[in-house]
Amino acid sequence: MLLKNKNFKSKNRRNFLSPKKNPRHLCCSLVTRVFFWEQEKISRRIFSAQKLKTENKIFVSKNQNKPHTLVGGKNPQGFLINKKGLSEIVGYVLLILFVIIISVGVYLWLKSYVPEEELKCPEETSILIKELSCVNLPIPDRETVKEIKIILKNSGKFNIDGYFIRVTESEEQKIGTKDLSNYFNKVLSELAGVGNSATQHGGSLRFYNALESNDEKTAIFQVPYSFANPYSIEIIPFRFQEFKNKNRFVTCGEAKVLQKLECS
């Protein structure tokens, strides 16, 4: 119908401006001519708008169940973009990148605390039990205790910073399982000689002053009679070694000493 109206108006304009069909056209003013031109422009715009609206309705009806948008306001190739799906994909990608960045950071942080090479004590690290004695001491109104006295000597060439001390309960047992460090008597040990001070820490005894080569230290333990039936004493020394400008704790397992204990 719009097309018919357009043709009708164009035809009337031609008839109005034709000298044969309308001799008065020469008397028409410029305003009249401009009026018809503007009317024609408006008609064209209305026709184009309605045509575009009709095409959009057809396009939407075909894809009414698919949320979409046009690229740049146009869709020359008919491609559809799902806004919701795109936002979810971007969210997943960002989440994965975030997890990867955190994992790399944690890995680098932990790597700085783990030595690249296995630390070992020098081969000439050695400790010797120079003297070992055990005496049962009855104490009035208290349980009988076993007083164990140990004199340790550094028989190697490197300093020793402390040791683990455990006891075994039978001949077949080759590894000590009962920790003896909790029964270390600091007062009696210091009275036995100067420089015997040590502190109990995490199942071990650490010297205040490192045990240097050929030096000796005395340690006295008072163990309750019901604690265990000790068969032998196991001592494993440890050191603090510098590694990459840091002091590292190193257990000298190869320098372990095991000696039989006899109580009287």
Assess whether 101 and 131 both reside in one domain. no
Give the pLDDT confidence score for residue 141 in this predicted structure.
67
Measured distance CA(238)–CA(197) in Å, rounded: 17
Assess whether 101 and 141 both reside in one domain. no
Measured distance CA(231)–CA(215) in Å, rounded: 27
Assess whether 101 and 142 both reside in one domain. no
Please report whether residue 167 resides in a domain: yes
What does the pLDDT look like over 207-231, one tens digit per residue? 888 899 999 998 999 888 777 788 8
User: Confidence band (pLDDT; 50, 70, 90) for 125?
Assistant: very high
Task: Give the CA count within 13 Å in the CB-facing half-sphere of 162.
Answer: 19
Rg, Å, the chain Cα set:
50
Measured distance CA(133)–CA(260) in Å, rounded: 10
| Structural domain containing residue 57 | 2-62
Assess whether 141 and 110 both reside in one domain. no
Assess whether 167 and 196 both reside in one domain. yes
Give helix 30-62 / helix 2-17 axis angle, nearest 10°.
170
What does the pLDDT look like over 74-118, one tens digit per residue? 444 444 455 555 677 888 888 999 999 999 999 888 877 766 667
What does the pLDDT look like over 41-85, one tens digit per residue? 666 766 666 666 665 555 444 455 554 444 444 444 444 455 555
**Biggest distance spanned by C-alpha atoms of the chain:** 151
Assess whether 160 and 251 both reside in one domain. yes
Please name which of 9, 210, 254 lies closest in space to residue 120, comparing C-alpha atoms.
254
Q: Using the 8-state DSSP alphabet, how is residue 67 labeled?
A: -
Q: What is the pTM of this model?
A: 0.55
Assess whether 219 and 133 both reside in one domain. yes
Please name which of 43, 54, 222, 244 lies closest in space to residue 147, comparing C-alpha atoms.
222
Please report whether residue 121 resides in a domain: no
More confident residue, 246 or 133: 133
Please report whether residue 24 resides in a domain: yes
Q: What is the mean pLDDT of the chain?
A: 75
Give the pLDDT confidence score for residue 72 in this predicted structure.
44
Q: Report, as an integer, the average pLDDT of 186-200.
A: 78
Give the pLDDT confidence score for residue 186 in this predicted structure.
86
Q: Residue 254 has which token pair?
A: 């190869």
Residue 151 CB partners (closer than 8 Å, separation 6+): 129, 130, 131, 132, 216, 217, 218
Indicate if the pLDDT at residue 28 is higher than 60. Answer: no
Assess whether 134 and 241 both reside in one domain. yes
Assess whether 138 and 171 both reside in one domain. yes
